[in-house]
Amino acid sequence: MAKQTRASHPIYSLLPIEIEGFDSLVELALDMRSSWNHATDEIWRQLNSELWNLTHNPWVVLQTVSRDQLERVLTDHEFRKNIDDLLLGKHQAEKAQAWFQQYHPQAPLTCAAYFSMEFMLSEALPIYSGGLGNVAGDQLKAADDLGVPVVGLCLLYQQGYFRQMIDKNGNQQALFPYNDPGQLPITPLRQENGDWLRLEISLPGYSVWLRAWQVQVGRVKLYLLDSNDAANFPVHRGITSELYGSGPELRLKQELLLGIGGWRLLEALGIHPEVCHLNEGHAAFAVLERARSFMQETGQPFEVALAATRAGNLFTTHTAVTAGFDRFAPSLIDQYLGGYAKQRLNITLHDLLALGRQNPNDSSESFNMAYLAIRGSGAVNGVSRLHGKVSRHLFELLFPHWPLDEVPVGHVTNGVHMPSWDSVAADELWTNVCSKDRWLGTTETLEQDIRSISDSKLWQFRIDAGKSLVEYARERFSRQLDASGAPVDAVEGAKYLFDPNALTLGFARRFTTYKRPNLLLHDPDRLLRLLSNPKRPVQLVIAGKAHPEDLAGQALIHEWINFIRQPEAWPHIVFLSDYDMLLTEHLVQGVDVWINTPRRPWEACGTSGMKVLVNGGINLSELDGWWAEAYTPEVGWALGDGLEHGDDPAWDAAEADALYDLLEQEVIPEFYTRDKNGIPGAWVARMRESMAQLTPRFSANRTVREYTEQHYLPAALAYMKRAANKGAVAVQIVNWRKEMEKLWPTLRFGEMKVQTEDKQHVYEVQVYLNDINQDAVRVELYADGINGDAPVRQEMKPLRQLAGSLGGHIYGAVVSDDRPATDYTARLIPYYEGVEVPLEAAKILWQR
């Protein structure tokens, strides 16, 4: 069992650890809970206010402060008492019985391992790019709040995702600053003897050594692996250099280290998760390594090990288009995993490739990581209701002849960790009416509680929020212009930009064509008129990056910059560069309206708009992702007709006009229509309903509780049942599947009869099972759903044997005659207790 120590590592030997009280500061600085529980902020501000405001990194502040300053503050009685109180509160919170312990005290779940290529926890730990990391980080934080036993697995990137600068010509420049591990809030994992915990991963012709690190997230831990080890060749030290490194070979190596290395790290730490949660297909190789580990423990072959372990695996897909899945050439899989398949899994390369292909026998088909994740998991989910539907379309080819509605992809809609994104003022507002513990358990009362806040209090809260954003935008934009070499008068002018009383729109996201970030620019003259109305002024804050290789996305940024630099537009729009977590916080806390314009249905969920909810911002968004299930007229505004139109330029133009109309005819008038006290009553009512109805529904608190109750707990039970007695149940499942594979072609239907009497349809159908046991199949009467309802699945019962036939039976069922008899047909599907059909057994036979 490895352990983490501080003093034994050279990083810490340079720090004044002998100063009494310093260890307490270290413990507080290295707990990422401080990134959302701001109780410690004043400590770091007192130590070095300038550095704290720039970095929001307690660990950097603590390393930079002088010994004299430390000794001075640590001898101050009030300062020490504050630290002691904070530590006491931290320890009490870690020991407290949280939601999970209270509601599931006898749960079989001791650990769920959450694998993700990125985690957004704080700007102090830049190992994130965008939405995927946002989801992972927020769910890890909510797991801490709720006491759900989760550990995170990720890679530590030397450079992380790129930083953005806009140059004099309005072009995006990508910068890759080095992540110095000594300045990140992480600690090395060490063996009992003090040696750094290192893992050896065999790649073709060489080994890669991985260093292991730990991040403390309250009571939850995130483990990081990196290849920047002195024992590696220089080229291999760079495997973990950059998040989403370019080129398929580097991407494959990163995903091997995450999936296989991540699972081995858990074993080295003595952690044995019942549940493995794959956040996207990047980590799908973990299902192979988990199966290999089971093989080693039990002596079972790979197919049994996979049948046992997949019950404990959950795959969450975030991809809304087929092109978004990671695919690798068969030759690349052979090069890096051929030996692993033969020597560790004892399977052929063909069998390995089949796990990642639609057609196992198509030698030219690429290896799809999402397919591997599906075939290695006991459940699959999308990240919004609409995305679940989209994903069923994407994966229907893996389940031929099954109705689309029954393709086995459900959904758990994402949510955001509200304490990470609320402002200090928002936290105070919610605390006053909903208590400080509002996100630590269930949230049923929050909707009614928030409705008790008066119009005047809500409006003053929003006025203050807008003022704070304007101050921040002025300061940041001024520094941005200065860094890009702008004239002195422009730098100075930025300090007076914007009007704190004007309606402020926010638009910030990754700049790529499907998100249509330039929809507002469709008619520049109309946009300019809308913004510059002297009686009802509007101002627009924009932020976002385009991938360094996405030239089209960079062109969209350049178009905005050119527009903004017009003298008429300059006072009304600002583009804040280097969109990161800290900038996001300020934007979502201060904007009045958050605009989102993706091309439906390409936004799997989207979480940016969720972050404004707790702060009283209102959404104006395309009916895509989460907004498709959140929108009602009293909580915001909707764009689009709820249908898909592809990338039709005419439709884009129509939606641009609709967006202008919404702003001109509804949003702006409602904001500026005031009562005698200067309060916009309709606006505040909409704002209140958005806060009350949507904030609890789209919080990570709700998301993690759903994952726990709908997936983690059932998966833990299923895995334990299959794994018991060296996988005895898994052996039975494998044997049953083999029998189905061999005998299924012999099944057939005979004649089906139907009589309608007493307002019922009475069906009888001949079924020839031949050598298959009746208990191994299920005969159903099926009809498609109508108007969005679920399909009808009525089990048909065996009535009698067919005389003179081998394995022939008559099955029957009775249904209401409220639908025509011709709507129904009979079908045969496999059945085995505890097996997910069609996810684990996709055979189906229809009566024609």
The alpha carbon of residue 431 and the mean position of all alpha carbons in its chain are separated, in whole angstroms, by 27
427, 435 Cβ separation under 8 angstroms: no
Amino acid at 443: T
750/292 Cα distance (integer angstroms): 45
CA 54, chain centre distance (Å) = 27
Distance CA(631)–CA(618), nearest Å, equals: 11
Q: Is the pLDDT confidence value at 310 over 70?
A: yes
Mean pLDDT, range 484-508, rounded to an integer? 92
Flag the least confident range among 54-68, 513-527, 555-569, 826-840: 54-68
Name the pairing type of β-strands 808-816 and 797-801: antiparallel
Backbone angles phi, psi at 175, to 5 degrees: -120, 145
Predicted confidence at residue 149, as pLDDT, reads: 98
pLDDT of residue 5: 44
Which has more confidence, 5 or 823? 823
Distance, CA of 292 to CA of 272 (rounded, Å): 14
- β-pair partners for 535: none
- By DSSP bridging, strand 172-175 and strand 163-166 are antiparallel
- pLDDT band for 606, please (50, 70, 90 cuts): very high
Q: Which of these CATH numbers, 3.40.630.30, 3.40.50.150, 3.20.20.70, 3.40.50.2000, describes 418-698? A: 3.40.50.2000
CA distances from 78 to 38, 48, 73, 82, 83 (A): 18, 18, 9, 6, 9
Beta strands 573-576 and 593-596 are unpaired
| Among 185, 224, 183, residue whose Cα is nearest residue 33 | 185
pLDDT given for residue 2 in this prediction: 52
| In the predicted structure, residue 382 carries a pLDDT above the cut 90 | yes
Percent of the chain with pLDDT over 90: 84
Q: Give the CATH fold of the 107-159+186-414+711-719 domain.
A: Rossmann fold (3.40.50)
- Residue 263 predicted with pLDDT over 50: yes
pLDDT tops 60 at residue 669: yes
Q: What is the mean pLDDT of residues 701-726?
A: 98
Cβ count near 818 (within 10 Å): 8
For residue range 439-475, list pLDDT tens digits in order: 999 998 999 999 999 999 999 999 999 999 999 999 9
Q: What is the pLDDT of residues 625-643, one digit of tens each?
A: 999 999 999 999 999 999 9
Q: CA-CA distance, 316 to 383, in Å (whole number)?
A: 7
Sorted by sequence, the CB contacts under 8 Å of residue 757 that are 6+ apart come out as: none
How much is the pLDDT for 53?
87
pLDDT of residue 223 exceeding 90: yes
Contacts of 310 (CB under 8 A, 6+ apart): 287, 291, 375, 376, 377, 378, 840
Query: Cα 683 from chain centroid?
Result: 31
**DSSP string over 734-800:** HHHHHHHHHHGGG-EEEEEEEEEETTEEEEEEEEE-TTS-GGGEEEEEEE--STTPPPEEEEPEEEE
At residue 806 the predicted structure's pLDDT band, cuts being 50, 70 and 90, is confident
Packed helices 713-743 and 285-298: angle between N→C axes, nearest 10 degrees: 80
- Does residue 833 have a pLDDT over 90? yes
Q: Where are the alpha helices (DSSP H) in 56-130?
A: 58-64, 67-74, 77-95, 99-103
The Cα 510–Cα 133 span in angstroms is 13
Q: What pLDDT is stored for residue 190 in this prediction?
A: 87
133 token code pair: 């990391």
Task: Check pLDDT > 60 for residue 57.
Answer: yes
Q: What is the mean pLDDT of the chain?
A: 94
Would you list the DSSP string of 472-540?
HHHHHHHHHHHHTT--HHHHHHGGG-S-TTSEEEEEES---GGG-TTGGGSSHHHHHHHHT-SSS-EEE
Per-residue pLDDT, 232: 94
Res 37 pLDDT > 80: yes
Mean pLDDT of 488-504: 92
Q: Please state the pTM of the whole predicted model.
A: 0.95
Edge-to-edge order in the sheet of strand 777-783: 792-795, 777-783, 825-830, 845-846
Residues of the chain with pLDDT > 70: what percent?
98
Provide the pLDDT confidence category of residue 14 given band limits of 50, 70 and 90: low
Neighbours of 503 (CB within 10 A): 23
Q: Where are the domains of the chain?
A: 3-95, 107-159+186-414+711-719, 418-698, 747-846
* CA atoms of 789 and 685, how far apart (whole Å): 33
Mean pLDDT of 53-82: 90
How far is Cα 61 from Cα 652, in angstroms, rounded to an integer? 48
Q: What stretches of 242-384 adopt beta strand conformation (E)?
A: 275-279, 313-316, 327-328, 367-368, 379-382
Say whether pLDDT at 691 is over 50.
yes
Residues in contact with 54: Cβ distance below 8 Å, sequence separation at least 6, in sequence order: none
The sign of the torsion formed by the CA atoms of 200, 201, 202, 206 equals: negative
Is residue 10 scored above 50 in pLDDT?
no
Q: CA-CA distance, 279 to 316, in Å (whole number)?
A: 5
Determine whether 222 is exposed, middle or buried from the number of CB atoms within 10 Å of its CB (0-12, 13-18, 19+).
Answer: buried
Strand-pairing partners, residue 33, are none
* Structure confidence by residue, pLDDT tens digits, 156-171: 999 878 889 999 889 9
Q: Burial code of 409-423, b = ≥16 C-beta within 10 A, e = fewer?
A: bebbbbbbbbbbbbb
Q: Which two tokens stand for residue 582?
A: 């800290």
Check if the beta carbon of residue 64 is closer than 8 Å to that of residue 52: no
CATH number belonging to the domain at 747-846, selected among 1.10.10, 2.40.10, 3.40.47, 2.60.40? 2.60.40
Amino acid making up residue 624: D
Highest mean pLDDT range out of 90-94, 416-420, 787-791? 416-420
Q: What is the pLDDT of residue 194?
A: 80
Are both 107-159+186-414+711-719 and 418-698 of the same fold?
Answer: yes
Q: How confident is the model at residue 38 (pLDDT cuts 50, 70, 90)?
A: confident
Q: What is the mean pLDDT of residues 484-496?
A: 89
Order of strands, edge to edge, in the sheet holding 797-801?
748-757, 760-768, 808-816, 797-801
Q: Is 36 helix (H, G, I), strand (E, B) or coil?
A: coil
Cβ distance 603 to 644 under 8 Å? no
599 half-sphere exposure, CB direction, 13 A CA radius: 21
Find the mean pLDDT for residues 118-142. 94
Nearest residue to 167 (alpha-carbon basis) of 746, 558, 684, 646: 558
